[in-house]
Amino acid sequence: MERQVINPWGWQDKHQFVQANAISGATRMLICSGQASMAPDGRTLHPGDLRAQINQALDNLEVVLAEAGFELKDVVRLNYFCTDLGSFFTANEDLKRRLAEAGCRPASSMYGVTRLGSPDLLIEMEATAVR
């Protein structure tokens, strides 16, 4: 598989995403449901703590990816649904670091929402991975 990053500008680099990924030669695609700060039994983890929920959602995404034979570096699209966009930008340092360490440069969109599937959820991440 070959990936060509399309970045006509440079401002997005500090946010750990790209404007587009052009993919050729991929043999598998994984389309993931939104991952959130959920325990294996479906309980919401870390109510009220956006930073912890971001990290747990990313942990859960990595579990789903691994189960299908993918890694975080294979993610080409990562969308965020957040109930407090202002707080997201002050709580996402771990996310940016973990994406950078994994070599993950996804195309991304961010959506401000009033509520997620559980009232205690603050963030959900939806990913597409290719190999």
User: Do β-strands 123-130 and 75-82 pair in parallel, antiparallel, or remain unpaired?
Assistant: antiparallel
Mean pLDDT of 111-120: 97
Q: Is the pTM of this model over 0.75?
A: yes
pLDDT in tens, 86-109: 999 999 999 999 999 999 999 999
pLDDT in the model for residue 83: 98
| Averaged pLDDT score across all residues of the chain | 95
Query: What pLDDT is stored for residue 41 in this prediction?
Result: 94
Q: What's the per-residue H, E or C state across the chain?
A: CEEEEECCCCHHHHHCCECEEEEECCCCEEECCCECCECCCCCECCCCCHHHHHHHHHHHHHHHHHHCCCCHHHEEEEEEEECCHHHHHHHCHHHHHHHHHHCCCCECCEEECCCCCCCCCCEEEEEEEEC
Task: Name the residue among 46, 113, 47 with its Cα closest to residue 80.
Answer: 113
What's the confidence (pLDDT) of residue 14? 84
Cα 116 to chain center, whole Å?
16
pLDDT of 69 above 90: yes
Q: What is the mean pLDDT of residues 78-82?
A: 98
pLDDT digits (tens, 9 = 90+) for 8-48: 999 998 888 899 999 999 899 999 999 999 999 999 999 99
Q: Which domains does the chain show, CATH number per domain?
A: 2-130 (3.30.1330.40)
